[in-house]
A and B are shown apart, each in its own frame.
Chain A
Amino acid sequence: MSALLEVSNVSKVFSMGGLLSRHQVRAVEDASFTLEADRPEIFTIIGESGSGKTTLARMILGLELPTSGEIRFRDKTVSHRVGRRERLAFMGNVQPVFQNPFEAFNPLKRIDRYLASTARRFLKLSDLKAIDRAMDEALVKVGLSLAEVRGRFPHELSGGQLQRCAIARALIPNPPLLIADEPVSMVDASLRMAIVNLLKALRDDFGVSVIYITHDLATAYYISNRIIIMQKGRIVEMGDARTVLENPEHPYSRLLKASVLSTEDAGAGKLATDAEMVRTASALAGAERSRLAERPDGRLVRVYEGA
């Protein structure tokens, strides 16, 4: 059994402020998890803004270096401070999908140009026919075809199509791991499920592992195998997605679940948030001494000493 991605005790501290008034922000604190190579899964990171979920993703992509701890991909440390050849090999294996497809593509460039340059760079193709074939294969995986996309500019496609193109681009080097940072939050409701179902199909049919970063608990429940819930840089609960979301244990996870707007009693106007819950959860964010404890059902929950 080998690990695809191993995140061990990773922390990231940003130093902010001027020369005289520096203060430190702990964006990620002591995060550890492992993705297995032989078991593709959708691994979800849930958190609000400022919870450190994007920083964690950037570290996995090698765009930031952890302050302490180590991220290993196939037994090699992830870092951008390596030779060009090694960096390209890593980039061929771990590909990002970003939040807003309209910002991810240059509006003045045709989309197939991005796809072709990815194919040229990572698959080392130079024959035009081979490049076309690689592009078409990737586009077919996401439910499009090269004929539909060739020669089009980003503004000629809908948000959902464009996001699918972004995923197709990421799939060209046949990566075993995709990092999708809020891939559906900018996409319209009627197209959102198409993207989410696509991520699911990638896992089931093509064996791609996906790290899915979101603040939407409902889609997370729908597609993920495992989830971690982050609060202010700390992992507060981690485990099987269904187990955790059906019955969250940590106060913050419970608060998140309670804040999901349900449609079960549509029209009843039930909105009240339990103020006590908010207080309990936010009090724990600053608690000093804490550790992750294992529960009999396999999940890890943060427990606080002296509480």
Chain B
Amino acid sequence: MRTLFSENILSLSPTPAPQSNPFELLFPSSLSTASSTASTQSSPRQDDWLTQHVQNQHRADADAVNQTSYVSSGHRTQNVRRKGNPKLLFMGSRRSGKSSVQKVVFQKLSPADTLFLESTSRIETANMHSFITFESAELPTSIVTAVTAPAPDFDHQAIFSNAGAVIWILDVQDEYLTSITSMIQTAVFLAETYPRINFEVFIHKTDGLSDEYKYETFREVRQRVQDELSDLGHGDRSVSYYQTSIFDHSIFEAMSKVVQKLLPQLPAMEALLNKLCSTCRIQKAYLFDTVSKIYLATDASPSFLRDYEVCSDYVDVIVDIKQIYGWHGQGNSSQEDGGGVGESMVSYDRSGDTYVYAREINNYLSLICVMGRGSSADKRVLIDYNAGILHDALLQIFKV
């Protein structure tokens, strides 16, 4: 089994605290395109963000100190020890869309079909084997209440001990105040018992709402949660908020951000992509997990949801066409590895000035670049060469 989190990465740097990611400091608004608009609207919150960042940094340091002391004393129950694959836990109130999100993102269910999903009554786990094996689990509502008011025999250790992130799904089209209450209880519980788990909030089902209402609700929810958490003494806990909907790409983008926080290789990948973009005049580059269409990294230039949409749709096009005509190789899989590197390109105007370039890193990972003006077709040689270098570097990063 291929694991990303090798033993020595773990022991050297327990978790690259996502809060101290330099890119977030530089681009607080690139957290999510959806949230960026909201945060610019509420400018006072930006200062909050900075103070919070400083606090987090302290916290992270303290954490690291704790960590070493635990290691020395050989007892680290407090901290979540993540090994193996990133594991995501979905929580939320009844009919908020937990199963739908999971099915759409990891099992490629068509969003329209999620209407017919039955409600989940026990913990359901799903694995997706791709470049990274994602493990996701969904906690039915009965268990969610059990978490907030734990029964003595409730084994939260089994559920939370190896989780990387808890995703709380909040249905904005429903009465969400009760959900917020239990979300806060859960967040506090997690902050006290498993402080290493990232807590993420998906403000879900935003499709069909007017933009204004959407941002208003988004801000309200964020404000409320933040206030409550600080009242309870956990104001320093960073909670990320995303506006999502399974009917567009926002859910994939949000999932990408969540997954990225769990990858220790993220800074290295981002640095590589930044270099590639500046040398080859690439407008935007994404590193896609081909199967799930979650992107593992992107360069530091401001990201827009629509760039992501185009790239992810393009990945779809390539995958579909490859499926249709790649049937020769399916029989003898040994040839698959020996085959040339797949690459693809689509150009839009006759001059070939604007185009999208895709290159397969391996079966599960592909690099998609939106090329800007000025990198015309005659520069392709250079781009191919540089992409080749990036290719080798990435393979080395992930070589375990």
Q: Do A and B make up one complex?
A: no
Q: Which residues of A contact B (CB under 8 A)?
A: none
